[in-house]
Amino acid sequence: VSKYIIGGGITGLIASFYNPDYRIITDKIGGQMAANTAGPRILEVNEYSRMFLKDLGFENVNTKFAKIGYKVRGKIVDSISKSLRNKYYLKSRCLDDANLIPNSIMSDGKNTIEYFDISWDEIIERLISNIKKPVINKITSIDTEEKIIVLDGLPFRYEKLISTIPAPAFFKASKLNPEKELKFIQKVFIIVDSSTIDMREYEYIYYPECQYPYHRISKVGSNKLSIEFTTNEDTSKILNYWKHISIQNIIIPIGQIQSGMISKVKDISFFGRYACWDHDLKVDDVIRQSIDYNDTERKNIYDGI
Tell me: does residue 41 bind ligand FAD (CB under 6 A): yes
Question: Which span sits near ligand FAD by CB under 6 A: 53-61, 94-102, 163-171, 236-244?
Answer: 163-171
Written as one letter, the residue type at 207 is Y
Distance separating alpha carbons of residues 67 and 76, to the nearest angstrom: 12
Tell me: does residue 272 bind ligand FAD (CB under 6 A): yes
Between 283 and 291, whose beta carbon lies closer to ligand FAD? 283
Tell me: does residue 39 bind ligand FAD (CB under 6 A): yes
Select the residue interacting with ligand FAD from 64, 132, 138, 157 (CB under 6 A). Answer: 138
Select the residue interacting with ligand FAD from 4, 5, 8, 48 (CB under 6 A). Answer: 8
Cα-trace Rg, the chain: 20
Tell me: does residue 106 bind ligand FAD (CB under 6 A): no
Tell me: does residue 161 bind ligand FAD (CB under 6 A): no
Tell me: does residue 12 bind ligand FAD (CB under 6 A): yes
Between 80 and 142, whose beta carbon lies closer to ligand FAD? 142
Distance separating alpha carbons of residues 167 and 40, to the nearest angstrom: 23
Tell me: does residue 219 bind ligand FAD (CB under 6 A): no
The contact pattern for ligand FAD, residues 70-89, with x = CB under 6 A and - = no contact, is --------------------
Select the residue interacting with ligand FAD from 21, 28, 81, 241 (CB under 6 A). Answer: 28
Shortest Cβ distance from residue 1 to ligand FAD (Å)?
Answer: 20
Pairing label, strands 75-77, 216-220: unpaired
Tell me: does residue 26 bind ligand FAD (CB under 6 A): yes
Shortest Cβ distance from residue 181 to ligand FAD (Å)?
Answer: 19
Site for ligand FAD in 166-195 (CB under 6 A): 169
Shortest Cβ distance from residue 261 to ligand FAD (Å)?
Answer: 17
Tell me: does residue 123 bind ligand FAD (CB under 6 A): no
Tell me: does residue 38 bind ligand FAD (CB under 6 A): yes
Contacts for 55-62 with beta carbons within 8 Å, 24 or more apart? 55/17, 56/17, 56/123, 56/126, 56/127, 56/130, 57/126, 58/118, 58/122, 58/126, 61/116, 61/117, 61/118, 62/116, 62/117
Between 99 and 103, whose beta carbon lies closer to ligand FAD? 103
User: How many residues sit close enough to ligand FAD to count as binding (CB under 6 A)?
Assistant: 29
Between 83 and 222, whose beta carbon lies closer to ligand FAD? 222
Asked if 13 contacts 24 with a C-beta cutoff of 8 angstroms, the reply is yes
**Site residues, ligand FAD (CB under 6 A):** 7-12, 26-28, 31-33, 38-42, 138-139, 164-165, 169, 252, 255, 272-274, 282-283
